[in-house]
Amino acid sequence: MTNKVVRGQLLVFTATPKDDDGNPVSPSSIQLYLNYPHADGVTSTDEPIEMQEQTDGTWKADFDTADTKPGAAFASLRAQNPPGAEDIKFSIVANPANPAP
């Protein structure tokens, strides 16, 4: 089932990198790639957002959905050194009372 996000919400993406055995790892960086319907009606992938490492070893990045159109959206979190990835699908929803950007 796809998670639904109401346009205008601030999404917080978090990553807790682990190896194949479930042990924590410390990548050199993690980037968040987003593909969603933009305000101009074109669905495309933005430049990556650098996730920030937190003091507890998790990584975090925010995405404001205020300037999106309703539709399918995708996220990919990609780690470097060691490499790893997680893909996420979600849906941005809005009704006539939720004004377009």
pLDDT above 70: percentage of residues in the chain: 98
Query: DSSP characters for 19-32?
Result: -TTS-B---SEEEE
pLDDT of residue 1: 64
Going from the C-alpha of 35 to that of each of 12, 18, 40, 69, the distances in angstroms are 15, 25, 14, 12
Residue in 32, 99, 45, 100 with CA at minimum distance from that of residue 72: 45
CB 8, CB 97: distance < 8 Å: no
Q: What is the pTM of this model?
A: 0.90
Report d(CA 10, CA 92) in Å as an integer: 12
pLDDT tens across 30-53, in order? 999 999 999 898 999 999 999 999
Chain mean position to CA 28: 19
Domains of the chain: 3-17+28-93 (2.60.40.10)
- What are the pLDDT tens digits along the chain (101 aa)? 679 999 999 999 999 999 889 899 999 999 999 999 998 989 999 999 999 999 999 999 999 999 999 999 999 999 999 999 999 999 999 988 888 77
pLDDT of residue 68: 94
